[in-house]
């Protein structure tokens, strides 16, 4: 089946190319992952077509590849330069270069369940970027520690929206989203809200907004809750 969700793409990304500098064996079987601002981005298993690598967006890191027993001595993560994918928000995907090739890495949790055909993956990601820019869209840090206070905002250029006074925090568990906590919001502009003290892992913030003339919409953004001891 050619239709894949981003989660399926991430799960399938185990090729030697996407293992990058963290794997120095031809048969290494570590998942293709690069971390940006504490959030994981998973590789799609192939190089980006020429002309799709844009401006730098800072450094990321690749964790040590451990696919043997006993495990090798721990080494620091490998730093890697990350670039924008032309026409795609770096909140959605980035390009990571290994030698002369650049791989496409998609942020885990981005629009879970949004179908993208492999043959039109870049077009799909650019469509998601357009939706994010025109809004309504919810924005928060890519990752945070449990219990941290974070900024959250609603972007809706040219629209008058009425955000609900509550934000729901959901955790991705057993293939579905489950409520992990609720956050009361005291004002509708850009706010800072405290995260519940939840278990680390992939989460998303969900908020309902009212848009005059079109009714209510549910908007969300993924956020990785980091392990405080990691």
CA distance 214 to 90: 29
CA nearest 221: which of 89, 118, 123, 105?
89
In angstroms, rounded to a whole number, what is the distance separating the alpha carbons of residues 222 and 205?
6
Residues in the chain: 230
Strand residue runs (E) in the chain: 3-4, 33-36, 39-47, 53-62, 78-85, 93-98, 101-107, 116-117, 137-139, 143-144, 149-155, 162-163, 166-173, 176-184, 191-194, 201-211, 215-225
Could you count the other beta carbons within 10 Å of the beta carbon of residue 144?
19
- Could you state, in order of their start, the residue ranges of all structural domains in the chain? 3-130, 137-225
Tell me how crowded residue 142 is: count the other CB atoms within 10 A of its CB.
Answer: 19
Q: How many distinct helices (H) and strands (E) make up the chain? A: 3, 17
Fold of 137-225: Immunoglobulin-like (2.60.40)
pLDDT at 202: 93
Q: Around Cβ 103, how many Cβ atoms within 10 Å?
A: 23
CA 22 – CA 24 distance, rounded (Å): 7
Per-residue pLDDT in tens (0 to 9) along the chain, 230 residues: 333 333 333 333 323 223 333 333 334 467 789 999 999 999 887 788 889 999 999 999 988 776 666 666 677 888 999 999 999 999 999 999 876 788 999 999 886 666 677 778 899 999 999 988 988 999 999 999 999 999 999 988 888 889 999 999 999 988 889 999 999 997 655 689 999 999 999 999 999 999 888 889 999 999 999 998 86
pLDDT value at position 189? 53
Contact of 138 with 111, CB cutoff 8 Å:
no
d(CA 62, CA 28): 14
Note the pLDDT of residue 22: 36
């Amino acid at each position: 089946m050619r239709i894949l969700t981003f989660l399926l793409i991430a799960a399938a990304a185990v090729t030697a190319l996407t293992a990058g500098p963290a794997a120095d064996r031809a048969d290494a079987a570590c998942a293709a992952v690069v971390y940006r601002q504490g959030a994981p981005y998973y590789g799609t298993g192939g190089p980006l077509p020429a002309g799709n690598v844009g401006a730098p967006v800072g450094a990321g890191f690749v964790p040590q590849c451990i696919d043997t027993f006993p495990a090798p001595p721990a080494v620091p993560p490998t730093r890697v330069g990350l670039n924008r994918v032309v026409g795609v928000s770096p909140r959605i995907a980035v390009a990571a270069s290994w030698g002369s090739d650049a791989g496409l890495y998609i942020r885990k949790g981005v629009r879970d369940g949004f179908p993208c055909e492999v043959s039109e993956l870049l077009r799909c990601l650019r469509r998601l970027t357009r939706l994010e820019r025109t809004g309504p869209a919810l924005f928060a840090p890519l990752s945070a520690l449990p219990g941290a206070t974070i900024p959250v905002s609603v972007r809706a250029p040219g629209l008058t929206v009425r955000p609900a006074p509550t934000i729901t925090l959901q955790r991705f568990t057993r293939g579905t989203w489950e409520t992990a906590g609720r956050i009361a919001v005291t004002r509708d502009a850009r706010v800072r809200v405290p995260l519940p003290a939840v278990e680390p892992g992939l989460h998303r913030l969900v908020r309902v907004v009212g848009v005059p003339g079109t009714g209510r919409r549910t908007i969300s953004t993924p956020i990785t809750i980091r392990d405080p001891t990691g």
